[in-house]
Chain A
Amino acid sequence: MNDFKFKVLELLQEDARREAAVIATLLGAEEDEVTKAIEEMEKDNVIVKYAPVINWSKVHDDKVTGIIEVQITPERGRGFDTIAERIYRYPEVKTVYLMSGAYDLQIEIEGKTLKEVAFFVSNKLSTIDSVLSTKTHFILKKYKQDGIILEDHEDDHRMLISP
């Protein structure tokens, strides 16, 4: 990854709706260069998707998110990947990470109710052969997500004119 593409990514991460022309001006580059870089990164799956960061708690309070620590036995020759795939194919599974430490996979699941998440764990997750144990935690409040503070905006306290 070259430095230019890296900078384009940083600007897009700040605001994915930024137009190529604006990014070009900010970086002192030509619009064509930016468009080309973005196309390449889309093709290479570096830029996977342009999605807004949504504070769902403002929309409906009853959405439930569970974080589940999963211990598994890796399969010979294929490690954790096959099991991870079996889990991430479920649409209600929002994230799956392979972890170092006391457990192997960390999974984030969204459901309408506590029960729905609990049933997913007991019926779908725990029944997979290689899954040894699970530990479910429920998220009560999100303060910050993907580097973005959800609730709090730091206001501009500056005086309007200063020397």
Chain B
Amino acid sequence: MLKTNKSMTDYISPVVKGIPPSGIRKFFDLVSGRKDIISLGVGEPDFVTPWHVREACVYSLEKGKTTYTQNAGLPELREAISAYLYKQFALNYEPSNEVLITVGGSEAIDLALRALVQPGDEILIPEPCYVSYSPITSIVGGKAVGIETYAKDSFKLTAESLAEQITAQSKVLILCYPSNPTGGIMTYEDWIPIVNLVEEHDLIVISDEIYAELTYDQKHISFASMPGMKDRTIVVSGFSKAFAMTGWRLGYACGHQDLIAAMLKIHQYTIMCAPVMAQQAGIEALTNGLEEKDRMVESYNQRRRLVVRGFREMGLDCHEPKGAFYAFPSIQSTGLTSEQFTEKLLEEFKVAAVPGNAFGLGGEGFIRCSYANSVSELNEALERIGKFVNKYQKLD
């Protein structure tokens, strides 16, 4: 029996109670269990993990590789990650103390924020962005400060908007390029003024580069590869998007050994180590999976062209996404809000997309559409959205 007339929720920490429900969660409940819809709301590849990777995992299980690993992860995997990052993105990390294997990139973000933030610190977050940065910031007692980015800038972070939000309390800048949800990227030239501000204001950067492999027509430039930025940057990445391994929950963080050591301290008590079978699979993916990855990237690129063209032809403004697997068209011409648009679209034409306002500042008036779907489904979805848009634009 509970004392007096307390409810169970009274026992929950005010910090957790204060976290607003995820905008995506709400939409998830609407579509949950429905089999009759085409969903462009899926934030993961439509490929299954390549067979050789699955097979390597099964083989490792057969060989009895089922134990804990070192807290930081299997040395062989850390070496493979180090070599891979050097080859792909000119990043140079010492496997023994600058690489930490985590349970997805998500854990790495959590660890980085917990290791860095003390109450009162301000965490700068360019938005629209992935949904976890701001809630985790609140959990660790930091203050999330959104920086709006705009379609007119292809959702790049500009020095002007960043500078506006920097205060004496600013401590960490979280970057996510290529961007979920906008598909925006940052080039070498785009980074230069950001680098200057980071240096000038002594910021630490958490750079979530989970979509690094998915860029089109140009290579991803890691923020950590910019001059002088390696020590100030924690690179967070993982296997989910590049190797179609979302459910394996395998990610990593790389950075200065002191920062990684601090993150490892938390990781060893909360997680112990990432699952060994996923780590074994990760070694196979990095060793023999790069060609398959290139094929997947080429396939996303083809479908990217299809959806961008489709949205533009139906009269929606759609900036060209140069990374990830999302298009982020503006639906302002319909006169509907993002939520109205996505709810009515689901109701009337059975297509699911994610309302842009779920991703923070600057997301209202847009919808996120994943093109990690088959060409025939994308064509069908585009046709239905076209009819929907036509109907509502005419009502104006």
A163 touches B42 (CB 8 A): no
CB distance from A28 to the nearest CB of B (A): 5
In the complex, A144 Cα to B354 Cα: how many Å? Answer: 37
CB within 8 Å of B: which A126-163 residues: 154, 156, 158-163
CB distance from A16 to the nearest CB of B (A): 13
State which size class the interface on B falls in. 20 to 34
A160 touches B306 (CB 8 A): no
A-B pairs with beta carbons under 8 A, tally: 55
Q: Which residues of B contact A158 (CB under 8 A)?
A: 42, 44, 46
A99 within 8 A of B: no
Q: Which residues of A contact B34 (CB under 8 A)?
A: 160
B28 touches A159 (CB 8 A): yes
Q: Which residues of B contact A25 (CB under 8 A)?
A: 305-306, 309
In the complex, A18 Cα to B309 Cα: how many Å? Answer: 17
In the complex, A27 Cα to B375 Cα: how many Å? Answer: 13
Given A25-B309, A26-B303, A28-B305, decide whether A161 and B41 contact each other with a Cβ distance below 8 A. Answer: yes
Given A26-B375, A154-B48, decide whether A161 and B305 contact each other with a Cβ distance below 8 A. Answer: no
A160 touches B48 (CB 8 A): no
Given A25-B309, A26-B306, A156-B46, decide whether A163 and B375 contact each other with a Cβ distance below 8 A. Answer: no
A160 touches B352 (CB 8 A): yes
Taking a contact as CB atoms closer than 8 A, the residue among B42, B309, B375, B379 that contacts A161 in the complex is: B42
B24 touches A161 (CB 8 A): yes
Q: Tally chain A residues at the interface, Cβ within 8 Å.
A: 16
A161 touches B39 (CB 8 A): yes
Given A22-B375, A156-B46, decide whether A161 and B306 contact each other with a Cβ distance below 8 A. Answer: no
In the complex, A156 Cα to B246 Cα: how many Å? Answer: 14
B306 touches A163 (CB 8 A): no
Q: Which residues of A contact B27 (CB under 8 A)?
A: 161
B303 touches A162 (CB 8 A): no
Q: Which residues of B contact A154 (CB under 8 A)?
A: 48
In the complex, A18 Cα to B43 Cα: how many Å? Answer: 27
Q: Which residues of A contact B132 (CB under 8 A)?
A: 163
A163 touches B309 (CB 8 A): no
Given A22-B375, A26-B375, A154-B48, decide whether A160 and B31 contact each other with a Cβ distance below 8 A. Answer: yes
- Given contacts A161-B42, A162-B41, A163-B132, could you give 11 more A-B pairs where the C-beta distance is less than 8 Å? A25-B305, A26-B303, A26-B306, A158-B46, A160-B39, A161-B24, A161-B27, A161-B28, A161-B354, A163-B130, A163-B131
Counting from the closest, the 3 A-B pairs by CB-CB distance are A26-B302, A161-B41, A160-B39
On B, residues with C-beta under 8 Å from A are 22, 24, 27-28, 31-32, 34, 37, 39, 41-44, 46, 48, 130-132, 180, 302-303, 305-306, 309, 352, 354, 375, 379
15 contacts between A and B (CB under 8 A): A18-B375, A22-B306, A22-B375, A25-B305, A154-B48, A158-B42, A160-B32, A160-B41, A161-B24, A161-B41, A161-B352, A161-B354, A162-B28, A162-B42, A163-B130
